[in-house]
A and B are shown apart, each in its own frame.
Chain A
Amino acid sequence: MAQLQPRHHNLHLPGVTLPGHRFAIGPETPLRLDCGVSLSRLDIAYQTYGQLNADRSNAILVCHALSGDQFVMERHPVTGREGWWENMVGPGLTLDTDRYFVICANVVGGCMGTTGPSDIDPATGKPYGLTFPLITIADMVRAQKLLIDHLGIESLFCVTGGSMGGMQALQWAVSYPERVFTCVPIATAARHSAQNIAFHEVGRQAIMADPDWCGGDYLAHDKRPRRGLAVARMAAHITYLSEATLHRKFGRNLQDRREVAYGFDADFQVESYLRHQGSAFVERFDANSYLYITRAMDYFDLASEHGGMLANAFRGTKSRFCVISFTSDWLFPTTQSREVVHALNAVAANVSFVEIATDKGHDAFLLDVPEFFATFSGFLNGAAEHRGVK
């Protein structure tokens, strides 16, 4: 497979070549988007781990969250940090790469190799910027389906992901039910709540209020809305944690000082932490991608295309579902997972549902939560036994 060339003008990463695979979709199979526009050229950057077995029955598609990417279980080529699901995916782990073939692709609209607003529009020779069409979760899944076709996989053993990844997993089960043997949506919902849309709007406004955003055309001006994107990330990061986590990690501890400085420096450790989160994010994420992807989440409402009845979205499904939520997740609370479970029950689908007790908030799906791993493994083992995956 071809090596990815760095195409990220906005990230200014000279010498960084993104490792992994690239699947190029040409004008012969345009991707028709929900907004009505077709993308005639689309690159999908993806990673695979493990081996596809002879009957191609062991493939697991991992869908990444808003700020994630395809580097699931390896050192990130840009940040140098470990993969975002390194405690979940790997030899002997829950998504056991000795047993399963794990695929993860950067979403459409992203900024880690898959075509997004920071890429060059072939029609104009300039970066798309805000001329990039609006995308939806269903569009992301359409693109992934083209990739899965390309890989010759008839039926995915499992589609899974947390948060926005869970939305994609649910969308897969609705759009291509016959291609999904098991679906494991984690810490997610069948529609984005008003509260979550509100948080996203704060983030977008922060980006757009940054003069360096330049009406979305910052690449042409050789600028980047660093401050705006950092603030967006800081606000969002709070929603991924819980009060208990913040209290345990930081309390009211002061940063490198014995008493408050009567100023607006980062007196408190929690401020310093958030500032770090913001500035680190800017180094690896494109501001316009952030606008597009948050919008895709806002638009997500699985029931809306089925007469407002979520159950209708799943009618006739043969997939096995395992819905997982976390007690302290206030961004995607258990009630929202339960709505999915109720809809699946209403069509007598094969569904498991667990709520994992943890105080780690929404981010629990990325963290070391043994009960979560045990439950997920058990579910997969049961399904593997049923499907005859060794």
Chain B
Amino acid sequence: MDGNAVTRPSTIRVDLQLVADMVTARSRVLDVGCGDGALLDYLVHFKQVDGRGVELSQAGVNACVRHGLPVIQGDADTDLKDYPSDAFDYVILSQTLQATRDPRIVLRHLVRIGQRAIVSFSNFGFWRVRWHLAWHGRMPVAEAPGLYWYDTPNIHPCTITDFVDLCRELDIAIESGLALDRRGRTRRLNSPGFFANLFGEQAVFLLRRP
């Protein structure tokens, strides 16, 4: 068996690229909800990070470990408490916050375990989502076709404004933020306001303890 022959794309999904760009090379990174390991693999091989992953789905975990990534099966809601404080430079929560049972506890753990946390999510305030709800009167089926309101794992979707409010409430500092529009253009969220919340389809925030 030759595992070295694994093909490794040098590009990743644009929202993952935004996250990756926020990570300093050769740092220690924990990717919570790392899925099939695309971001982690990129960070390990192109930014030489000391990376770890946590993933809920066993299929995702096995795929990661098969590719040589240090990943464990675990649940963001229950397992983050086992990690010591300041164990990592960055803790990443990419497209996972909305699927956690208690986003507040998870966010607190992220900035406790990591010097910094990077959180990305789909903005529920995006105009198309609003339009869908306003015009069709139905819950948006945004993330993947076939995931209806009753079977989506995304039980806590939020808007950029909601997220900024929550960080303020939890006393978590936003170091920087980016909104990604439908054409893949980014907009800095220095003062995340009405327009960012309307035109940003995805958001990525760099957080730290105050």
Contacts and interface: CB of A to CB of B under 8 A. Distances in A.
Contact of B69 (A347, A352, A356): A352
A351 B71 CA distance: 7
Contacts of A378: 3, 65-68
Given A374-B66, A381-B68, A348 B3 contact: no
A382 interface: yes
Contacts of B62: 354, 356, 371, 374-375
Interface in B73-91: 73-74, 79, 82-84, 87-88
Contact of A341 (B50, B69, B72): B72
Given A378-B66, A382-B68, A94 B73 contact: no
B70 A350 contact: yes
Given A345-B82, A374-B66, A354 B1 contact: no
B79 to A, nearest CB: 7
Interface in B89-121: none
B52 interface: yes
Interface in A332-390: 341-342, 345-348, 350-357, 371, 374-375, 377-383, 385
The 10 A-B residue pairs with the shortest CB-CB distance, nearest first, are A382-B68, A381-B3, A378-B66, A348-B87, A353-B72, A352-B65, A345-B82, A352-B70, A342-B82, A377-B1
Nearest to B53: A352
Contacts of B71: 352-353
A320 interface: yes
A374 B2 CA distance: 11
Contacts of B1: 92-94, 96, 377, 381
A353 to B, nearest CB: 4
A58 B113 CA distance: 34
B208 to A, nearest CB: 19
A322 interface: yes
Given A357-B58, A381-B3, A385-B4, A346 B68 contact: no
13 contacts: A348-B84, A348-B88, A350-B52, A352-B61, A352-B69, A354-B65, A355-B58, A377-B66, A378-B3, A378-B65, A378-B67, A382-B3, A382-B68
Given A96-B1, A345-B79, A385 B68 contact: yes
Given A348-B87, A381-B3, A354 B73 contact: yes
Interface residues of B, number: 26
A345 B79 CA distance: 9
Interface of A: 92-94, 96, 320, 322-323, 341-342, 345-348, 350-357, 371, 374-375, 377-383, 385
Given A374-B66, A377-B3, 19 more contacts: A93-B1, A342-B79, A345-B72, A348-B83, A348-B87, A350-B50, A351-B52, A352-B61, A352-B64, A352-B72, A354-B61, A354-B62, A354-B65, A356-B62, A375-B65, A377-B66, A382-B67, A382-B68, A385-B68
Given A345-B79, A346-B82, A348-B84, A353 B61 contact: yes
A356 B66 CA distance: 12
A345 B73 CA distance: 12
Contacts of A350: 50, 52, 70
A320 B3 contact: no
A341 B62 CA distance: 15
Contacts of B68: 378-379, 381-383, 385
A107 B15 CA distance: 53
Given A350-B70, A352-B72, A379 B58 contact: no
A307 B2 CA distance: 43
B171 to A, nearest CB: 25
Nearest to A325: B73
A380 B2 CA distance: 11
Contacts of B67: 378, 382
A101 to B, nearest CB: 17
Contacts of B50: 350
Contacts of A345: 72, 79, 82-83
Contacts of A346: 82-84
Contacts of B84: 346-348
Contacts of A348: 83-84, 87-88
Contacts of A323: 72
A269 to B, nearest CB: 34
Nearest to A343: B82
Contact of B73 (A320, A353, A380): A353
Contacts of A356: 62
A242 B3 CA distance: 32
B68 to A, nearest CB: 2
Interface string B39-73: 00000000000101000001001101111111111
Give the residue among A351, A352, A377 with the most B Cβ atoms within 10 A: A352
A379 B71 CA distance: 10
A375 B37 CA distance: 14
A375 B3 CA distance: 11
Contacts of B88: 348
Contacts of B64: 352
A93 B2 CA distance: 10
Contact of A351 (B2, B4, B72): B72
